[in-house]
Amino acid sequence: MSILETEDVTDEIRRLRLNRPESLNALSRELLSQIAEEVRAANGEYRVLILEGAGDAFTAGADLNEAESAGDLFQEITRSVREFEGIVIGKLHGWVVGGGFEWTLSFDLRYAHADTRFKLTESEVGVTVTNASTLLLPLYVGAGTARELVYTSRELPAAEAAQYGLLAGVFDDADDLEAKVIDVATDIVENKSATALRLNKRAMDQAFPVEEVLKREELINEYCHDIEEMSW
């Protein structure tokens, strides 16, 4: 069984499904590597990527058995999404936790089931935030709420996330969520200019120094691990 399933919805729409349902799609080094590789391989071949999770959650975040060694790969999955010239749509449900939550901030669009709950557990488990979320999260929810979510690790329900603009739509029915995501993806392919979308995405991405933030987060993450080890 593949831990990352792929499906061609059409010739121009590709679906990637995290497939470790027994661990709520915890992001192991192997899965993180496959995600980055598949997203980069799809660049130039597909106009829309749909990212979703199998089972009861989108992702429970980092696989805690490998968390200390996976920081660089979390940054890479964000880079891969930003480098993708088409549109990346997140189809979210259940838990969206830690680095998995951070990763969704780089998606172009996010739609969610009403049962979706976001949570940043980094302060609980003793690591720092990554995926350029130190920049992207305040842009979505505001600086005050971003600090609250990072410092307290409280759950953020889908309805509240939608109020901030983090979600483009929330659906009570899973079939309605799937239909909406496919409708949006199909409309992008059939009715929108690929050139205009690519340049608009590039312009919005380049408005903020995400690459600088990713590099700074990597250094802070390494420093955090060094201090934790010294404290023992």
pLDDT digits (tens, 9 = 90+) for 161-197: 999 999 999 999 999 999 999 999 999 999 999 999 9
Mean pLDDT of the chain: 93
Is the pLDDT reported for residue 31 higher than 80? yes
Q: Does residue 230 register a pLDDT over 60?
A: no
Between 217 and 99, where is the model more confident? Answer: 99
Domain boundaries, the chain: 4-172+193-231
Q: Which of 18-27, 89-98, 134-143, 220-229 has the lowest mean pLDDT?
A: 220-229
Range with the lowest mean pLDDT among 56-65, 68-77, 118-127, 162-171? 68-77
| Region 197-226 average pLDDT | 84
Cβ contact 86:46 at 8 Å: yes
Q: Considering the domain 4-172+193-231 in this protein, what is its CATH number?
A: 3.90.226.10
Residue 222 has pLDDT above 80, yes or no: no
Residue 17 burial (CB count, 10 A): 19
Report the share of the chain in percent with pLDDT over 70: 94
71-86: pLDDT as tens digits: 689 899 999 999 999 9
Greatest extent of the chain over all pairs of C-alpha atoms, in Å: 58
| pLDDT tens digits, one per residue of 20-29 | 999 999 999 9
Find residue 49's DSSP bridge partners: 14, 88
User: pLDDT value at position 229?
Assistant: 53
